Amino acid sequence: MNFELSEEHLMIRQAARDFAQNELKPGVIERDEHQKFPAEQIKKMGELGFLGMMVSPKYGGGGMDAISYVLAMEEISKVDASASVVMSVNNSLVCWGLETFGNEEQKLKYLVPLAKGEIIGAFCLSEPEAGSDATSQHTTAIDAGDHYVLNGTKNWITNGSNASVYIVMAQTDVAKGHKGINALIVEKGAPGFTIGPKENKLGIRGSDTHSLMFTDVKVPKANRIGEDGFGFKFAMKTLTGGRIGIAAQALGIAGGAYELALQYSKERKAFGVPISQHQAIQFKLADMATNIEAARLLCYKAAWTKDQGLDYTLSAAMAKLFASQVAMDTTIEAVQVHGGYGYVKEFHVERLMRDAKITQIYEGTSEVQKIVIARQIIGK
Ligand code: CAA
């Protein structure tokens, strides 16, 4: 067993760290405050190859492994989880899904600009009444010969207004249940496709989350991903990889808060000594460091499992479940270590605490991860 990262992995991690510190950190507080999408920063991330890391160079991607992706996600999330969710959705849910299940025409038309970061994509599964219960799709895609007619509403869609390409899950044949769902590529600007107002969120406020409305939108059959009825499997398989990305995001948020708390504890004095000399603070830091290390091992193991071509359903769910709890616990304690300063925006930890919460909700809640884990270990 080898726990060492390769030279290439270390370089990727350093590049992501430098980008996060130099390009994302300035302005992150203002973007959070004003819910400003990090458009310029995302453009640069695309130019640097962070938006299509695992896509084959043949389709404009970086041809990297999942470990590299996790390392970059971790570093970027330490500073700006609003930027890293854009990165995660584009890499895991959009590019990976298209490269793995799309046909050549779809890859050339959509994957290439997505992997190069020239455009970004969105993954549209959740609905007002279908979150965890994802098979209950009310959006319909009625077969009309050479195209589908799409009607319905999608909720909480990341990259909702900034995406150019949307992968939309919709029910074609209700009688077939989840086997009647299709995954369709819908372009922004399609007649009948409207974008609702931006959600005013607790955290990841720089990311743009919207409802999407489809009214008699014509989607060519050529834009269906995979065989007829493959849409739900497409969504589940894609989300399995997405969960590694969100686990890495949670790990990064925890790591960012821990690093700030550690540094602050060495600078801030109370009762005549730096607070890091008080056992009350030391115990907090020790717990944070240990939990983060355990989360990191689960994340890297999940990425490694994927890179080996093994089934990563279990390891991805475990990594997301654990890392998101660590993100929540660590950020709360980081605020506590900072005392009153932790409660104001300049010190970053209150934002990380707000950002942490979503990692227990999106791409499958913690409760859904437990369902997945239980089914894997017990059998369905
Ligand atoms: N890989 C492949 N296939 C899978 C699968 C997986 N991980 N999980 C389920 N399936 C298949 C099953 O094998 C089954 O197929 P068959 O009938 O052919 O056997 C089919 O899918 C239905 O599966 P279940 O019977 O297990 O379905 P269920 O109704 O019991 O639900 C669930 C299972 C795990 C709860 C699932 O609905 C789920 O994951 N829900 C959460 C959805 C989710 O993660 N939403 C996130 C929204 S996207 C988002 O957040 C993105 C963003 O913008 C950041």
Going from the Cα of 93 to the center of ligand 1, the distance in angstroms, rounded, reads 14
The rounded distance, in Å, linking the Cα atoms of 144 and 182 is 14
The rounded distance, in Å, linking the Cα atoms of 7 and 30 is 35
State residue 24's pLDDT score.
98
- The answer to whether 363 is a known catalytic residue is yes
Task: With a cut of 80, say whether residue 120 has pLDDT above it.
Answer: yes
pLDDT band at 73; cut points 50, 70, 90: very high
Burial of 329 (0-12, 13-18, 19+ CB in 10 A): middle
Task: With a cut of 90, say whether residue 379 has pLDDT above it.
Answer: no
Q: Per-residue b/e over 247-267, b at no fewer than 16 CB within 10 Å? A: bbbbbbbbbbbbebbbebbee
Residue 215, H or E segment: strand 209-220
Q: Which residues contact residue 125 at a Cβ distance below 8 angstroms, ignoring those fewer than 6 apart? A: 134, 154, 169, 235, 239
Residues 302-311: what's their mean pLDDT? 98
Question: Ligand 1 pocket, 123 CB below 6 A?
Answer: yes
Question: Ligand 1 pocket, 43 CB below 6 A?
Answer: no
Question: Ligand 1 pocket, 135 CB below 6 A?
Answer: yes
Q: Which numbered atom of ligand 1 lies nearest the CA of 159?
A: 53
Computed over every residue of the chain, the mean pLDDT equals: 97
Nearest CA to ligand 1 atom 24: 135
Q: Which numbered atom of ligand 1 lies nearest the CA of 85?
A: 54
163-177 pLDDT, tens digit each: 999 999 999 999 999
Q: Among the options 23, 127, 363, 367, which is catalytic?
A: 363
Task: With a cut of 90, say whether residue 134 has pLDDT above it.
Answer: no
Question: Ligand 1 pocket, 158 CB below 6 A?
Answer: yes
Residue type, 205: R
State residue 380's pLDDT score.
67
Task: With a cut of 90, say whether residue 1 has pLDDT above it.
Answer: no
Residues 310-315: what's their mean pLDDT? 98
Cα 158 to Cα 16, 126, 227, 343, distances in angstroms: 22, 11, 26, 27
33-58 pLDDT, tens digit each: 999 999 999 999 999 999 999 999 99
Task: With a cut of 80, say whether residue 11 has pLDDT above it.
Answer: yes
State residue 171's pLDDT score.
97
The rounded distance, in Å, linking the Cα atoms of 92 and 186 is 18
Task: With a cut of 90, say whether residue 131 has pLDDT above it.
Answer: no
State residue 317's pLDDT score.
98
pTM: 0.97
